[in-house]
Structure 1
């Protein structure tokens, strides 16, 4: 079982080699939620994620001669960048196997840190299997993503920093993927303050920790997928699971729309850019998934490696869910002035037309009719209802597009 002393040793090794990330008090979210809320900003860490902590600690414990052939790992992106940076600092080659659907930004970033990247499989587990094959073929040292005491100890230094900066913290919300982060953080936090509550948060599309807790033994998912790709695994680690069972007080899940809205809220209200995995802890609070009472609460924002295309999709999705964006299809008379009349009516209702497309050639339309697709910026669910009522009263056959 992982010990607090191992985490303290890791902190000494990492001192000066990583960023001691900020613990930020959020006035806005504290007022919104009704209790003090802090963000531990591992999205600001070197490589954009906590993963570099475990990778550096793992490699530092290996004699140089054992690393001459280089290191290899499997990762959906964040661990890859952590290993790549750690290997570059130690001047050894690194090979990373990533799932084929890994966001391009994470692939390019891993290469920028000096690692060779190969793509294999649809999920992390497929990539890990291929990496193990290459490990044997090339004689390289495999760097586990989460299921190793040295990895967990490195990640646990996040917990040390939180308790040093906020000794009277009551609750920590921590993302769960394979379990290395929460196992390390829980060991550190409970070792310092046994009364602190640890709440793990998973994506509902990959709930292996929650299902394993319910069964009392490890569960392997048949499929796992989420916007929070950094925590999408089909199975917890053999070594992380017992620690989670012993030290984590509760495990909750969040839905995709909730993750998207948490990302948007952090950008808009917290001025922080996070990836899906980094947003799940706040999503749990915003949508009532966290356990009460919470008291002084810390949300661990585990990573910020989100590409621009994903941000664009997430912002649109979050705005739709909050009633601030409406896609609607309407039919109107194909005659001069019809579109202008529709636009004027929407403007009078305070709806800003973000995008419009006009089609009179669709096979399903009657002659003399046109179909218009509108994307509207709106002020909330009530405003959307008012717009749809206005369109109905105006005789337009309006259909909301999901």
Structure 2
């Protein structure tokens, strides 16, 4: 796991720009399961998701040589927004390849933040194109999750949760490529090892569960989920062992359960969460997760970036 000192250093480095996000008590869900359920509101963070943490930490720890030729990234959307914003703070150009089915809201938002956005194929094809651009243009690749500097930045979410929720016994964390859960897991293992960290994936993109089964990062042949922010076809060589070491369990939820959770968050908790951000609540509503017998539960609501058109099918 990443050293606690590294996470704390990341927290200090971004604290002047990125404020802690609140915990919101979900009264209805708390009543339903008979204990307090707190929602960690990362949708309130700059650029609408936790990704700005890792992006800003990466940029602020980069060498001049890494920044000189500009940055490159592959993203379904939130990493694009977070890195475009962070790079803009430093006046560094960034090129992002996104799959053709990426959220138009996130595409337009990234362009407004100054990024060059190229739409190309599916997520696997997008990666192939980015590797070509790295060679052609001399870009420095900023991986959306499989980079220790990114993981350390995302781990600041865990440091905040542990400070804000001293009575928590479990954290439910959405899992795509694994950067967030790897960072939170490192924080929890160092400061509260008895806490149960539970990863939640969409059934159509359960790349971390696949890695656990295979004994290492292994690419899914197909990704099919409404939770595009979690649609990583393969987890990272860094995130896999960190997750395996610090995560107690992985569970999966289907698209119907995700839609149910989004409606709950919108109408009951008053939060407009995107599909990938709702998977933890979906697991609780579906009662598909084994929780510790007592204590508070924290669910990370990772982002809220979507247009009205994208929201409509779930209402």
TM above 0.5: yes
1: CA distance, partners of 2:120 / 2:214: 31
Q: Quote the residue 2:308 is aligned against.
A: 308
TM-superposed deviation, 1:65: 4.4
TM-superposed deviation, 1:68: 2.1
Q: Quote the residue 1:144 is aligned against.
A: 143
Q: Trace 1:101-140 onto structure 2 (pairs within 5 A).
A: 101-123=101-123, 125-140=124-139
Query: Displaced runs of 4+ in structure 1, greater than 2 A?
Result: 63-66, 214-219, 292-295
2:181 touches 2:243 (CA, 8 Å); kept in 1?
yes
Q: Quote the residue 2:100 is aligned against.
A: 100
Q: Quote the residue 2:274 is aligned against.
A: 275
Q: Quote the residue 2:8 is aligned against.
A: 8
Q: Quote the residue 1:215 is aligned against.
A: 214
2: CA distance, partners of 1:64 / 1:266: 43
Question: 1:155 aligned to 2:190?
Answer: no
1: CA distance, partners of 2:125 / 2:191: 38
2: CA distance, partners of 1:19 / 1:304: 17
2: CA distance, partners of 1:161 / 1:24: 13
TM-superposed deviation, 1:242: 0.5
TM-superposed deviation, 1:93: 0.8
Q: Quote the residue 1:202 is aligned against.
A: 201
2:169 touches 2:292 (CA, 8 Å); kept in 1?
no
Structure with bigger RCO (C-alpha 8 Å, 6+ apart): 2
TM-superposed deviation, 1:181: 0.4
Structure 1: where are the runs of 5+ without partners? 316-402
Q: Deviations over 1:83-132 (max 9, x none)?
A: 10001000111111100000110100101111111111112x32122112
2: CA distance, partners of 1:15 / 1:44: 15
Let me know the Cα RMSD of the aligned residues: 1.1
Q: Quote the residue 1:172 is aligned against.
A: 171
2: CA distance, partners of 1:11 / 1:281: 24
2: CA distance, partners of 1:201 / 1:308: 25
Q: Deviations over 1:148-173 (max 9, x none)?
A: 11010000000000011112210000
TM-superposed deviation, 1:147: 0.3
Q: Deviations over 1:183-210 (max 9, x none)?
A: 0011011211010000000000011111
2:170 touches 2:291 (CA, 8 Å); kept in 1?
no
SS of aligned partner of 2:117: strand
Q: Trace 1:28-67 onto structure 2 (pairs within 5 A).
A: 28-67=28-67
SS of aligned partner of 1:270: coil
2: CA distance, partners of 1:99 / 1:247: 31
SS of aligned partner of 1:145: coil
Q: Quote the residue 1:256 is aligned against.
A: 255
SS of aligned partner of 2:204: coil
TM-score normalised by structure 2 residue count = 0.97
Name the one with the larger helix percent. Answer: 2
With 218-227 and 93-102 compared, the bigger mean Cα shift is at: 218-227
1: CA distance, partners of 2:6 / 2:212: 26
Q: Deviations over 1:237-270 (max 9, x none)?
A: 0111001111100000001000001001100000
Q: Trace 1:224-303 onto structure 2 (pairs within 5 A).
A: 224-293=223-292, 295-303=295-303
TM-superposed deviation, 1:19: 2.9
1: CA distance, partners of 2:283 / 2:187: 22
TM-superposed deviation, 1:36: 0.9
Q: Quote the residue 1:83 is aligned against.
A: 83
With 20-29 and 98-107 compared, the bigger mean Cα shift is at: 20-29
SS of aligned partner of 2:95: strand
TM-superposed deviation, 1:211: 2.2
1: CA distance, partners of 2:226 / 2:282: 13
Q: Quote the residue 2:182 is aligned against.
A: 183
Aligned length: 314
